[in-house]
Amino acid sequence: MKILILGAGGVGGYFGGRLIEAGGDVTFQVRPARARNLAANGLVIKSALGDAKLPVRTIEDAQGAGPFDLVIVSCKAYDLAPAIEAIAPHVAAGAIVLPLLNGMRHHDDLRARFGAEQTIGGMCQIETTLSPAGEILHKSEFARMVFGPFEEYPPTPRAQAVVSDLATLCGSANFSARLLDPVDQALWDKWVMIGTLGGITCLMRGATGDVMAAKEGRELIEELLQEAISVATENGYPPSADYLVNARKLLMAPGSTFMASMLRDIEKGGAIEADHIIGDMYRRAHEFGHDANVLRMVYCHLQAYEARRARGGL
């Protein structure tokens, strides 16, 4: 199986590098500056699970490349539109698309552009960042990828074969992986978690433990969590009781330094996935008739940050 990964940042670079270690045939489609960095230094991973320095193949556009069996999209949601156009020639040549983004709206966008038969669902759980030198810094011992077909869109024989081959390859890779058929519940569970985590830590500009130290901090986290749960439930995917027990443990641990990557992006003055993660959840809640007052406040807060950033006011 030939795999193309769009992007070689913290997510795409980490999982792509581990797949190469496992013997995978992996190519990265990257921008020119990143291509030069990788050519000069290799793909460098620094992790408690094992460091790596790997020579990698890169392309800067789709001309003359491939064909590929699978395209893994690992960009941020605000880069999805150009990413779709960048991978379009590969998909036209028969590649199956696996996105590793947060939220759900990108699946609709990908299906609208390429058709349900060439897209599968996926998500990852990992804490990584890219160093100024282009090294992938894995900041915990947790790295997990989940993927599979959607309940509403049964896979074609080709997509099923690609998914099966990926599962086999991941079985030898230095990260946890799980093939789920269907994958929908896992994607909704992740959105409930990341929506609550991103929302509360960005709104309060602190880690979950900092919020817990505030008067009524726990109550505010719970209110936002309930709003996220209501959206998943209205869409037919309520989180299980066991999942919520674990989610509350992570979100409400006193003294925890747990925070969303979106808060780190804000602290660096960077672009954020406000509309994709929080805005889309708020819109869905509103469509179902829920007030979602905390989601509304979070979304307004993030839009104000984006407006200030756009005018150069940071």
pLDDT tens sequence across 130-184:
999 999 999 888 999 999 999 999 999 999 999 999 999 999 999 999 999 999 9
The dihedral sign for the CA sequence 100, 104, 108, 109: negative
103: left (phi over 0), alpha (psi -120 to 50) or beta: left
CA–CA distance, 146 with 167 (Å, rounded to integer) = 10
Which residues, given as ranges, of the chain have pLDDT below 70?
none
Q: Is 190 one of the catalytic residues?
A: yes
Query: Omega into 182 within 30° of 0, i.e. cis?
Result: yes
User: Would you state the pLDDT for residue 139?
Assistant: 86
Secondary structure E strands in 113-190: 121-130, 136-148, 176-179
Write down the pTM of the prediction: 0.94
User: Would you state the pLDDT for residue 251?
Assistant: 97
Structural domains of the chain, with CATH: 2-182 (3.40.50.720), 186-310 (1.10.1040.10)
Contact assessment for residue 148 and residue 183, using Cβ atoms and an 8 Å cutoff: yes
User: Would you state the pLDDT for residue 62?
Assistant: 84
User: Would you state the pLDDT for residue 66?
Assistant: 75
Residues with Cβ within 8 Å of residue 18, at least 6 apart in sequence = 45, 52, 143, 173, 174, 175
Active-site annotation holder among 46, 53, 190, 215: 190
